[in-house]
Amino acid sequence: MTEPTLRCGFVAIIGAPNAGKSTLVNQLVGTKVSIVTQKVQTTRFPVRGIALEDEAQMVLVDTPGIFKPRRRLDRAMVASAWGGAHDADCVVLLIDAAAQLAVSQSLTGRRAPGDPMPSGSEASGQPRATGADHKAVEDVEMIIEGLKANGRKAILALNKIDLMKSENLLAIADDLYKTGIVEDVLMISAEKGHGVKDMKKLLAGRMPEGPWLYPEDQAADAPVRILAAEITREKLFLRVHEELPYAAAVVTTEFTDKPDGSVRIEQTIYVERDGQRAIVLGKGGQTLKWIGQKSREELGKLLDRPVHLFLTVKVEEKWSDDRALYAQFGLDYNS
Ligand SMILES: Nc1nc2c(ncn2[C@@H]2O[C@H](COP(=O)(O)OP(=O)(O)OP(=O)(O)O)[C@@H](O)[C@H]2O)c(=O)[nH]1
Ligand SMILES: [Mg+2]
């Protein structure tokens, strides 16, 4: 009997902020490797998740959303996302189909029966896309231009189809297909898992022959200190995203295995101003307590042992200009 031929390669998942890239990577891997929130610009650096399908090992690269950058951190995030696409064997362009649909309907004034009212619809029933929807569509256009300029093709995945019931989805796919950068079209719900198995099979078939890069049982490759900081940042974003959009970062300062089998983790939450520190702490420290509790619970499950978590909040006006932070996340300070 001949040995099966092993395949291995990189798949970059790119898209506008909030398209569902991290949700998709977690689904494909089958475990959480990248944090997810309802806010745009959650993922700040490329995160690798590893998935297996038959003889193929796929290294999925979850990238920061691609958008028009303004600040240094934005530029570094977007540059790293394009870098991920550049180095990959296969590119998946993930699109928030609900946003695309809302925008296309607000342009044509149409709404198909059974479609949900797009967010921001008026009581009259006239569809009206939100500013965020329009921004997502503009970002997608920019990404398509970028792919064209680089001569790259992508598998187009229309995401969040659980939010709609409509043949209009086909019209969106058709419009995007005409751009010439599309190799294949898939319709999925990353959150519900619809279509994700088919996507995995398709991707596996695209992987080049070669030995696996990771052991069979490895799902992630970020250092555990970074993953731990990400989990806390997710809880922070979930809890205070209205008041504190992008002004915070989390760094693990200590990670020590204890003789009793538990682990002691110390982390610093950096914010830019005193007022933000007060928000993170909350009345009587309640908010910070909630963040710590949620993070500790998840870390305990993830590490499969008791976790003692200690959080400190520091005001560091210029944390987003701190070179060391960029190096830690593999971002280019000078992008
Ligand atoms: N209804 C629905 N929501 C989804 C789906 N996939 C993702 N979401 C939601 O969309 C939001 C953004 O998901 P993320 O996975 O963080 O998106 P992202 O593209 O990684 O975002 P950035 O890292 O900010 O670029 C979250 O609230 C998800 O729960 C889906 O298939 N259906
Ligand atoms: Mg993300």
- Give distance in angstroms: CA of 187 to centre of ligand 2: 19
From the CB of 32, is ligand 1 less than 6 Å away?
no
- The answer to whether residue 215 is domain-embedded is no
The answer, yes or no, to whether residue 288 has pLDDT greater than 50, is yes
- The answer to whether residue 334 is domain-embedded is no
From the CB of 43, is ligand 1 less than 6 Å away?
yes
Domain residue limits at 294: 224-328
Average pLDDT, the chain: 90
The predicted structure's pLDDT at residue 243: 77
Does residue 172 sit in the same domain as residue 270?
Answer: no
Tell me the two tokens of residue 36. Answer: 């997810």
User: Per the structure, how many domains does the chain have?
Assistant: 2
Does residue 25 sit in the same domain as residue 172?
Answer: yes
From the CB of 48, is ligand 1 less than 6 Å away?
no
pTM (global) more than 0.75? yes
The predicted structure's pLDDT at residue 124: 40
Does residue 154 sit in the same domain as residue 264?
Answer: no
- The answer to whether residue 2 is domain-embedded is no
State the Cα–Cα distance between residues 131 and 266, nearest whole angstrom. Answer: 39
From the CB of 221, is ligand 1 less than 6 Å away?
no
Does residue 72 sit in the same domain as residue 111?
Answer: yes
How large is the average pLDDT for residues 307-317?
Answer: 95
pLDDT-based confidence at residue 127 (cuts at 50, 70, 90): low
Instruction: For 67-130, give the DSSP string.
Output: ----SHHHHHHHHHHHHHHHH-SEEEEEEEHHHHHHHHHHHHT---TTPPPPTT--TT------
The answer, yes or no, to whether residue 110 has pLDDT greater than 60, is no
How large is the average pLDDT for residues 297-317?
Answer: 94
How large is the average pLDDT for residues 95-114?
Answer: 78
State the Cα–Cα distance between residues 32 and 26, nearest whole angstrom. Answer: 5
pLDDT tens digit sequence for 14-68: 999 999 999 999 999 999 999 999 988 999 999 999 999 999 999 999 999 999 9
Report which protein residue has its CA nearest ligand 1's atom 12.
18
The answer, yes or no, to whether residue 121 has pLDDT greater than 50, is no
pLDDT-based confidence at residue 117 (cuts at 50, 70, 90): low
Does residue 263 sit in the same domain as residue 303?
Answer: yes
Ligand 1 atom closest to 15 (CA): 19
The answer, yes or no, to whether residue 112 has pLDDT greater than 60, is no
Does residue 160 sit in the same domain as residue 31?
Answer: yes
For residue 245, the ligand closest to its alpha carbon is 1
From the CB of 40, is ligand 1 less than 6 Å away?
yes
How large is the average pLDDT for residues 267-281?
Answer: 94
Number of residues written out for the chain: 335
Does residue 193 sit in the same domain as residue 234?
Answer: no
- Give distance in angstroms: CA of 292 to centre of ligand 2: 22
The predicted structure's pLDDT at residue 126: 42
For residue 66, the ligand closest to its alpha carbon is 1
User: What CATH number does residue 294 fall under?
Assistant: 3.30.300.20
How large is the average pLDDT for residues 261-278?
Answer: 94
